[in-house]
Structure 1
Amino acid sequence: MSKFVSLKKNADFKSVYSKGISAANRYLVLYKLPSKGLGKRFGFSISKKVGKAVCRNRLRRILKEICRLNLDRFANGYDYVFIVRQAAADQDYHQMEKQVWHVLGKLNK
């Protein structure tokens, strides 16, 4: 089982945005790009429009935990970037988990 690794550099995010494929719903946008490594890396982007810092950090923690607990559901060798939309501000863990699987399913078709 691979380890949870986060994207940190702005250049990595820009690369995923420009070269990757995406899928979206009302709550999330998910970008996916083949990476050079064998593992999987995750990035999270949450605009200040979504809410105050407490709300944004809560959503980031929820998404990180969903990804960490379900690493096997994400394909190896890819970088993933989640963009959270304003509608997600009042969602709880289980609702966000459902939205993640929805966009991931759209992306893997």
Structure 2
Amino acid sequence: MKNTVPIKRNTEFLRLYKKGKFYAGRNIVLYVMKNRFGINRLGITVGKKFGKSVKRNRIKRHIRESYRFYEEFIKNGYDLVFVARSSEQMPAFLDIKKEMKFLLKKLEVFEQEKWCCLKDG
């Protein structure tokens, strides 16, 4: 990921949970908050209720890859935390990708103009 730094500290996650805007989808929840660094910071969390480590790591890889796909269309200067919601079945990669775009648009972090220009060109 080119312009993104990982969020690692628990205090940063807690600050986002308390003060950030969020929107919940079917498979993931997105927390967003503007930062003062001018770069995007990404955090991904998956609870133990989601499943064993293989399943948790797989969903994290799906979320990270979906984010990488949309990274150039996300506005700079935001902290983003994706939380995987537990479900009976493992969501497909395309479902996560589609839902991520929906959540980014909903929280006004997605730059639609860049996306439209890419599709037209």
What is the TM-score with the length of structure 1 in the denominator?
A: 0.90
Letter of the 1:4 partner, please give it. T
Residue number in structure 2 paired with 1:104: 104
Q: Which has the higher contact order (CA 8 A, sep 6+)?
A: 1
* 1:28-72 residue CA offsets vs partner (Å, 9 max, x unmatched): 110000111011011011001111100000010111111122212
Residue number in structure 2 paired with 1:77: 77
SS of 1:70 mapped into structure 2:
helix
Residue number in structure 1 paired with 2:32: 32
Preserved CA contact (<8 Å) 1:2 1:39: no
Structure 1 segments unaligned to the other structure (5+ residues):
none
SS of 1:90 mapped into structure 2:
coil
Query: Partners in 1 of 2:17 and 2:89 — Cα distance?
Result: 23
Query: Partners in 1 of 2:3 and 2:13 — Cα distance?
Result: 19
Query: Partners in 2 of 1:49 and 1:32 — Cα distance?
Result: 23
SS of 1:49 mapped into structure 2:
helix
Letter of the 1:74 partner, please give it. I
Identity %: 34
Please say which structure displays the higher CA radius of gyration: 2
Structure 2 segments unaligned to the other structure (5+ residues):
110-121
How many positions carry a matched residue from both structures? 109
Q: How does 1:1-109 map to 2 (within 5 A)?
A: 2-87=2-87, 89-108=89-108
RMSD value over aligned CA atoms?
1.8
* Change in 2 beyond 3 A, CA 1:39/1:98: same
SS of 2:26 mapped into structure 1:
coil
Residue number in structure 1 paired with 2:119: none
